Structure 1
Amino acid sequence: MPKNSPTFDFPQDLRDAQAALHQTWNTYEQYAATLPWSAEPMPGWEGDKQLHSSYRSHKEDSPGYTEEQAAEVRRFQDELRRLSAEVVAHLFWDSVDAGDRVAARMALKHAHEPAKGEAV
């Protein structure tokens, strides 16, 4: 944090909600990377050769998501919405001056990281 930046004493339940949001988002991204590129069955395609390159974009046919995959995506999205609302609507934000709220939000996103010089 730059010099003269305010410091924030985040309540533990807000820190926990932010950490859970971060972890859930990471887990969801890892899961989503294993899914077909389209939720619905879609034909693949091949693009034109790019100018001054041998690169030709393409996608294989997508079988779409299975019922289990679609249900898991919905579960992740529901949990991400719930955790986001818990963080955004926390009463702590009422105690932060309006001009400091963006800085506080950015600080909260990194509150789980060890401070510089701390052992990991």
Structure 2
Amino acid sequence: MSTDFPDDLVQLQRDLHQATAGLRTFLADHPEPPEPIDGTAGWSSDDKARERELRQRLHDLIAQVHTHPYWDSLSGPDLVTARMKLKHVDDAGG
């Protein structure tokens, strides 16, 4: 099985990693609940909008990676293996 991924698929995966990291960072910077609870102030409307944007970007990228035409050329264990390799395409030694 070849795992010579198309450049656009690799870029989508990189964008997905970046979007995941961006959402993770945003949430780490906003540990309080979005809505006021038990004396917390909650998030501003701008912060709530930013979170929605980050989550929507993440969902869009997941869909683009998942439905990329490259996957049509694989099936069964080869498909699973290739998907896992793509997730780690930029890992050291991977």
TM-score for both structures, normalised by structure 1: 0.72
Deviation per residue, 1:9-60 (Å, 9 max, x gap)? 11000000000000111111011111142111001xxxxxxxxxxxxxxxxx
Unaligned runs of 5+ in 1: 1-5, 44-60
Given that 1:38 and 1:62 are in contact with CA atoms closer than 8 Å, whether structure 2 keeps it comes out as: yes
Q: Which runs of 4+ in 1 moved over 6 A?
A: none
Unaligned runs of 5+ in 2: none
1:14 correspondence with 2:14: no
**More strand as a share of residues:** 1
1:31 correspondence with 2:22: no
Q: Take 1:97 and 1:86, find their aligned partners in 2: how far apart are those partners? A: 18
- Aligned position for 1:103: 81
C-alpha RMSD over aligned residues: 1.4
Tell me the percent identity: 34
- Aligned position for 1:53: none
Q: Secondary structure at the match of 1:33?
A: helix
Count of residue pairs brought into register by the alignment: 94
Aligned-pair distance for 1:65? 1.0
1:112 correspondence with 2:90: yes
Answer with 1 or 2: which has the greater Rg: 1
- Aligned position for 1:90: 68
* CA pair 41-65 structure 1, distance change in 2 beyond 3 A: same
**More helix as a share of residues:** 2
Amino acid at match of 1:62: T
